[in-house]
Amino acid sequence: MRHLTDADVSGVVGLGGTLLGSSNRCNPRKFHPSTGANHHDHVSSLLPPDAPIDVTDRCLATLRAHRVDTLVVVGGDGTMTIAEDFAKQGVRVIGVPKTIDNDLPCTDLTFGFLTAVATATDALDRVHTTGKSHHRAMVVETMGRNAGWLALFAGVASGADVILLPEIPFSLESVCATVAERQRSRKGYSILAVAEGAKPVGGMQTVARFDPASPDPVRLGGIGALLGKQIEDRTGVETRITVLGHIQRGGAPIAADRVLATQFGAHAVQLLEAGAASRLVVWREGRVSDVALADAAGKQRLVPLDDHLIAAAREIGTSFGD
């Protein structure tokens, strides 16, 4: 708990991250005491995880002890699912969408997404240089477990030749054919934007490791390296791989995200002043509004196969590996 004053938040619009701190491992419904309670304790992090327990009652007691009657919860699909649990316990909750994955239902945009797109686009732009100079295939792995919005937007913005999304299983033969065709042409190089959750037709997502103490224990990663080797082996085209990882999650927000976050925050306060509860602030059809929090909890917004941006990319010759 920390009491925030005007001075604490002055200038915060230009900062990334959070003043209060956060965790994606401490779901109150599935809490692992040895890993979640003492995150500064290096010894506890080496112990095997305990069986998860439900500590919602402790959270509610903390809110009562500090006389907190309302939570303004900022986050993505996992956060809103937990927020809905608190709402069912009688806590007044207002949700504000923030995730670089842009995968929260009911809203067209979440703040953080456009900044991550700008970062990924810049990285993709930069690999054009070495790709073109050395006639290589350049594979850039972005974040995106189940929803490929980040790879889609950054791929289109950077003019990627191949964009691979979790929603569209890819054919290795199709990807290699695109690379080989470009190699034979005057273009002579290829740029591939690949979401970490992309998978081949009939195959599985590439798993980097398992974290049994996490509410979501599967950690994806490695599809870029795997695909790069397969492309090089099959086509003979020299291939280089770049994994953006957490570079996409940091840094100062771009102007569009600052404006969006300000609008979201202002609307959240208006909902509080109006006595609303269990509402989620959203951006729909070019303006801020709100929906029932339950409409978004426990769900993900995936890229629809008929999305207009996919159609536009196909029109200019972008391959989705299908």
Strands 162-164 and 92-97: unpaired
Strands 207-210 and 218-220: antiparallel
Catalytic site residue from 77, 85, 101, 257:
101
Q: At what angle do helices 113-134 and 255-273 cross, to 10 degrees?
A: 160
Q: Is 95 helix (H, G, I), strand (E, B) or coil?
A: strand
d(CA 160, CA 139): 10
The CA distances from residue 286 to 37, 104, 257, 258, 283, in Å, are: 41, 16, 14, 16, 7
- The DSSP code for 27 is -
d(CA 12, CA 318): 39
d(CA 35, CA 152): 35
Residues 107 and 284: beta-carbon distance below 8 Å: yes
Type of residue found at 107? T
Dig out the tokens for 141 from the structure.
Answer: 């792995």
Count of H helices and E strands in the chain?
10, 10
Dig out the tokens for 52 from the structure.
Answer: 């998860």
71 torsion bin: left (phi>0), alpha (psi -120 to 50), beta (else): beta
Dig out the tokens for 27 from the structure.
Answer: 């779901």
Is 108 annotated as catalytic? no
What residues are labeled active site?
Answer: 101
